[in-house]
Structure 1
Amino acid sequence: MTISPYNRNAQAFFTQYQSLNFEQVHRDWISQLNGQGGLALDVGAGSGRDALGLAERGWDVIAVEPASELRRLGQSATSEKTIQWMDDALPELARIRKLSYRFDLILVSAVWMHLPPTSRQRAFRILTELLAPSGLLVVTLRHGPGDGERQFYEVSRAELDSFARQRAVIPVLLSDVRQADELERKDVWWETAAYRLPDDGTGALPTLRHIIVNDNKSSTYKLGLLRTLVRIADSSPGLILNRSDDWVELPLGAVGLFWLMLYHPLVLKHRLRQAPGAAGYGFAREDFYELEKLSPLDFRVGLALSEEHAPVVMRAIKVASANILKNPAKFTTWPGTNRQIFEGGSSRFPIREEPVRLDKKTLEQFGRFRVPAMLWDTFSRYACWVEPAIVNEWVNLMGSWEIRYSMDTFHQALQWAEGRRDTAFVRKMVEGQLSSGSVECVWTARNLRALSYDIDHCFPWSRWSNNDLWNLLPASHSANAAKSEKLPADSLLKAARPRIIEWWQRAVVGTDRESQFFSEAEAALPLLGSSPTVDCVFEGMLQQRLRLKNNLQLTEWLGM
């Protein structure tokens, strides 16, 4: 796509786009919104005019703009609205796809003519894969001569209709699909094409139901692998290494680590059978039983392990990872076939008698594990529904092998080790800062020295159990009580940005907690990258806030 002219002439394009309003440009399809809101994607957002028009109608919007100068102007003009800006572009939309969002509306306005014909079919497929059930895709097409500086290609609605037939999306009839150019440029006219996805279009849920309910199981391993992947998708989306059209690639060590956290209480605490008979388990060698001295929370992602415990945990992860590849990954197949659903490969590396941090880089050393993209997106979006189905089947399976225990015992053993709502260590950090200066409430900017204060889980613990350092923030008692279990609104979180970042810089950066802070954020927050900064962490928080709002439908808090 042509990007450089939009950077060179950013102010001129910004002024031109802002000379028209959202209703003028999009009056032919606005009625399709039916007064609803939801999650919208504005591809090629330019000045932010359309993103702003949608936000003012109650939509949460992600605005994608690859031209950095134009994006800067647009971001400044829309900073007061619930709009997240991202550097991304068609045909790949690689960063957007890593977020595993599904959009109720995707707007591609004045962009399609920049795409080479060879890229369009792929671009259309990716756009339709990003649609939520009943989601609407709107593409505006520019016809007429170019301006001599930007690259334009001929476009047609017939081509889009042919792509739509291949993707099983339904054309939406619009009353007036051809429009004159609002800027009155000679021989330029516009055409609008709109398409709607009738259902999720992936077959992911029937596939999951087959694995959970119908597939043959000689142990709980297949259920264990599914639940492990659901947990990673829900709590640690930042662990993704790569994403293609078909696959999401994870560190094999992360799969092994979450597996150990899952089976630790079942086998070491509750002594519950995970297969019929009295045979042992392939993943449970000597090092796994050594983990009985630890809690699953002692070896979660992001934590540092001592020289005493690191080799034991690393060897246990290695054995578990190898067993996952040899057993549940190998024998979990597509319905009616012998084709594996999951793929992976291990790597050889020495395990040394030295401390180690369980971060993304360390977990990648064990190898890589691949999950079909459509299943991963379902894990991410529907974790709160998929996981209970897995647990219910797991309980039934254990009950068929062991009749001495009640169903309550099985359910208790299968509770994920979330830890407790512990803010004591961050409270000590606040007290340390107060002893030498002042600390502000992140939500109200009031000085906490003269107030009773709390440590607030920015994203509520009751709905997303996360005790990471980045999620624990100093707040006045009154603000924390008012916020309660609500999610901070986008505008409120953005307004608190300077205070949140100042808190991190004072209390965390440059201390012995810094590595833990960034390792936890790298795993839990999407799109953080390999060289995170506190600004990157905050941008990741904005994306995670939007993800929680749309996946869990949380109530928002607008502040005091």
Structure 2
Amino acid sequence: MSNDYYNSKVQEIAPQYLSLSFDQVHENWVHYLPAILDKPNANILDVGAGVGRDVSHIANLLAEKYQGDNQCRVYAVEPAIQMLKKGQATTKGQNVHWLQDSLPALDKTTRLEISFDLILLSAVWMHVPTSQRSRSLRKLANLLKPGGKIVVSLKFGMTAEEQHERKMFDVSVEEVEALAQNLGLFSKLEAQNSEDQLGRDGVYWQTLVLQMPDDGTGAFPFIRHVAINDGKSATHKLALLRVLLRIADGHAGAVLRRETSANGDRVILPLGLVALYWVHQYKDLIDYHGLFQTPNQSPNMGFMKDDGWRQLTHRTSADFRIGNLFIGADAKALYRTLSASAQNIRDMPCKYITLPNSDTRVFEVDAKTVRAKDSIFLDLDSLTKWGEFSLPESTWLALSRYACWIEPVLVSEWVKTMASYQGNERLNSSDKQHLLYQALKWEEPVRSTTDVRKRFDTLAATQQMQCVWSAKPLKQEYDIDHSMPFSRWPNNDLWNLVPSDSMVNNNKRDKLPSGKTLNAAKERMQYWWASAWLNNDKQNQKQRFFAEANIALPGLSAQNDSIDDLFEALLLQRGRLKDMQQLSEW
């Protein structure tokens, strides 16, 4: 798109666009809109939102429909900054979130780590060069929920002068439908020869509504194939899939960036984080439960080095988590263990997990040599030192969206695989396999709130404390609540633990706070964060607080130190959990 043209002409263009109503422009497909807005947690994205006419209309419909309890979200993407500013003015006071972003990458939009029920491309497709259209539609398809719709309007009758001035390119229905079909999208509607609402001679429009029948990427069948059908000379493949699933489900902020490639967009993660989770899941499995991970009777795995793994036998899996500090000999041993794990990941599962009927590797590792030091704080920055891990964006999204369905498959196959190994024959009878399931439990055995209680009690000695949810004064009887329910999303980070009245917490239980509830608690929650951790004399507490939040929540940078941005990311994560797990709200 010619951003310069639209930036310079915004004062001329804006009145033209705003002179038309939403219904005039979108009459061909608007009958689909009520069903979308009936979804209480609908996400709607307008790519090329211009001066905000369409998102303003949709936001108004939602405000009228839900009367202050609106948990739907409307996002407006616009690359031209002056158009975006005009759009922000048009939608001032409405529940519309603006992003300066553009096709084909949609980097900022993708970093939100949410999916959409409706994506609108009104008068946009002709601005996308032909060479970028395949990637653009693939990116949009990756952002769709199952059953979600993409509405594309195509402009015909452009003059050569207009195409040059506005950087427009020829379009066709056949091209869009062919690209859509390759992505598993199907066309629900084709409205032809609609007259130009601005009355321009020779200009007409055609509208396509594309729908996603399922995840549309082939990622889910691929994951299932690796878990169930692929050959396993050890548990490496299952381990890598589970590590990636846990990162995708619990650490939306771990994505360093996204890149395009010949086979589709890819997600780039810190290799050190993949290695850390690798250690986390194998540590108790091998050292505490004594379970063999290869078919022979040797307990050794390639990453179990004398100067690394075997120097950490006194540590448990719970120690290998974001926000922890290792010093001295333990730090040096951890450096070596992460390096050995990264090498093992590269040389074993990444080498042998390939596309079906192909030698093409699905996962890629770009490893770096890291010298062991006597101190390491586990956060996003430190874990990037080991290099980068790359996987298909479609696989990442499938792991993120379907984690609660995929993990039981992985664990079940892991149990079957371990039970078949010679070294585990004592546990291969059906009445003992529950012990294998127990050994594979990922969550820490105790979701400890001890440190948070100590901090609360210290503060309560000198000031009045409040329930984050109800504002009731708290005295001796209180609970420490996981704001995002632990049973549904196991997260024991400092930011997720808040003081609560015991009766209120009992009423909330495992429910997800509604958007309205969370917003009502914002001031009290931020006050608790600031007084408990950010104003604490212990610098490591503030460092840990943001390290945990910035990697767990979507859209935050590794350097973020703003609790306002953190709260916005928490609202996004609340929406993601609601979308992915359909949790009951409180």
Question: CA RMSD for the aligned pairs?
Answer: 3.2
Name the counterpart of 2:451: 425
For residue 477 of structure 1, report the CA deviation from its aligned partner. 3.4
Tell which deviates more after alignment, 538-547 or 517-526.
538-547
Contact 1:28–1:176 (CA<8 Å) still a contact in 2? no
For residue 288 of structure 1, report the CA deviation from its aligned partner. 1.5
Stretches of structure 1 that go unaligned for 5 or more consecutive residues are: none
For residue 18 of structure 1, report the CA deviation from its aligned partner. 6.7
Tell which deviates more after alignment, 500-509 or 522-531.
500-509
Among 426, 450, 455, the alignment partner of 1:404 is: 426
**2:365 aligned with 1:344, yes or no?**
yes
Name the counterpart of 2:330: 309
Question: Counterparts of 1:213 and 1:247 in 2: how far apart (Å)?
Answer: 24
Contact 2:464–2:473 (CA<8 Å) still a contact in 1? yes
- CA 266–154 in structure 1, closer or farther in 2 if over 3 Å, else same: closer
- TM value normalised by structure 2: 0.84
Name the counterpart of 1:65: 77
Contact 1:291–1:312 (CA<8 Å) still a contact in 2? yes
Contact 2:153–2:205 (CA<8 Å) still a contact in 1? yes
Contact 1:234–1:379 (CA<8 Å) still a contact in 2? yes
For residue 486 of structure 1, report the CA deviation from its aligned partner. 1.6
Name the counterpart of 2:531: 506
**2:561 aligned with 1:536, yes or no?**
no
Contact 2:350–2:363 (CA<8 Å) still a contact in 1? yes
**2:221 aligned with 1:206, yes or no?**
yes
Aligned length: 551
For residue 495 of structure 1, report the CA deviation from its aligned partner. 3.5
**2:546 aligned with 1:518, yes or no?**
yes
- CA 547–438 in structure 1, closer or farther in 2 if over 3 Å, else same: same
- CA 177–474 in structure 1, closer or farther in 2 if over 3 Å, else same: farther
- CA 452–147 in structure 1, closer or farther in 2 if over 3 Å, else same: farther
Among 274, 279, 304, the alignment partner of 1:260 is: 279
For residue 176 of structure 1, report the CA deviation from its aligned partner. 7.0
Name the counterpart of 1:137: 150
Contact 2:126–2:171 (CA<8 Å) still a contact in 1? no
Question: Counterparts of 2:101 and 2:134 in 1: how far apart (Å)?
Answer: 18
Q: SS at 1:218's partner residue?
A: coil
Question: Counterparts of 2:523 and 2:8 in 1: how far apart (Å)?
Answer: 31
Name the counterpart of 2:309: 288
Question: Counterparts of 2:34 and 2:59 in 1: how far apart (Å)?
Answer: 18
Question: Counterparts of 2:474 and 2:94 in 1: how far apart (Å)?
Answer: 35
**1:347 alignment partner AA:** K
- CA 292–75 in structure 1, closer or farther in 2 if over 3 Å, else same: farther
Q: SS at 1:160's partner residue?
A: helix
Q: SS at 1:344's partner residue?
A: strand
Name the counterpart of 2:248: 233
**2:93 aligned with 1:77, yes or no?**
yes
Question: Counterparts of 1:96 and 1:526 in 2: how far apart (Å)?
Answer: 11
CA deviation digits over 1:11-63, x for unaligned, max 9? 99888767765444433212234624344322234433144156456783340
Stretches of structure 2 that go unaligned for 5 or more consecutive residues are: none
Question: Counterparts of 2:481 and 2:17 in 1: how far apart (Å)?
Answer: 41
Superposed counterparts of 1:154-553, under 5 Å:
156-158=171-173, 159-174=175-190, 178-181=194-197, 190-245=205-260, 246-279=265-298, 280-286=300-306, 287-353=308-374, 355-401=375-421, 402-405=424-427, 406-444=432-470, 446=471, 448-449=473-474, 453-511=478-536, 512=539, 513-532=541-560, 533-553=562-582
Contact 1:157–1:193 (CA<8 Å) still a contact in 2? no
Contact 1:172–1:194 (CA<8 Å) still a contact in 2? yes
Question: Counterparts of 2:443 and 2:474 in 1: how far apart (Å)?
Answer: 35
Question: Counterparts of 1:140 and 1:438 in 2: how far apart (Å)?
Answer: 58
Contact 2:273–2:383 (CA<8 Å) still a contact in 1? yes
CA deviation digits over 1:62-96, x for unaligned, max 9? 403334524644664223xxx65444222221122
Contact 1:125–1:167 (CA<8 Å) still a contact in 2? yes
- CA 186–50 in structure 1, closer or farther in 2 if over 3 Å, else same: farther
- CA 193–152 in structure 1, closer or farther in 2 if over 3 Å, else same: farther
Question: Counterparts of 1:214 and 1:7 in 2: how far apart (Å)?
Answer: 54
Among 39, 42, 46, the alignment partner of 1:42 is: 46
Contact 2:180–2:186 (CA<8 Å) still a contact in 1? yes
CA deviation digits over 1:192-214, x for unaligned, max 9? 22222344332222222221122
Aligned sequence identity (%)? 37
Q: SS at 1:282's partner residue?
A: coil
Question: Counterparts of 2:513 and 2:2 in 1: how far apart (Å)?
Answer: 38
- TM value normalised by structure 1: 0.88
Contact 1:62–1:84 (CA<8 Å) still a contact in 2? yes
Contact 2:191–2:208 (CA<8 Å) still a contact in 1? no
Question: Counterparts of 1:548 and 1:124 in 2: how far apart (Å)?
Answer: 25
- CA 14–501 in structure 1, closer or farther in 2 if over 3 Å, else same: farther
Question: Counterparts of 1:203 and 1:254 in 2: how far apart (Å)?
Answer: 26
- CA 495–114 in structure 1, closer or farther in 2 if over 3 Å, else same: farther
For residue 157 of structure 1, report the CA deviation from its aligned partner. 4.6
Q: SS at 1:345's partner residue?
A: strand
